Chains A and B, each alone.
Chain A
Amino acid sequence: NAGVTQTPKFQVLKTGQSMTLQCAQDMNHEYMSWYRQDPGMGLRLIHYSVGAGITDQGEVPNGYNVSRSTTEDFPLRLLSAAPSQTSVYFCASSYQGLAGVDEQFFGPGTRLTVL
Chain B
Amino acid sequence: GQQLNQSPQSMFIQEGEDVSMNCTSSSIFNTWLWYKQEPGEGPVLLIALYKAGELTSNGRLTAQFGITRKDSFLNISASIPSDVGIYFCAGPLTQGGSEKLVFGKGTKLTVNP
A residues whose Cβ falls under 8 Å from a Cβ of B = 4, 33, 35, 40-45, 48, 50, 56, 58-59, 90, 92, 98-101, 103-104, 106-109
Contacts and interface: CB of A to CB of B under 8 A. Distances in A.
**Interface size class for chain B?**
20 to 34
A43 B100 contact: no
Contacts, number: 67
B74 to A, nearest CB: 15
B98 A43 contact: no
A42 B104 contact: yes
Given A100-B92, A104-B101, A43 B43 contact: yes
Nearest to A4: B42
A27 to B, nearest CB: 14
Interface in B3-56: 6, 9, 29-31, 33, 40-45, 48
Contact of B42 (A33, A48, A99, A109): A109
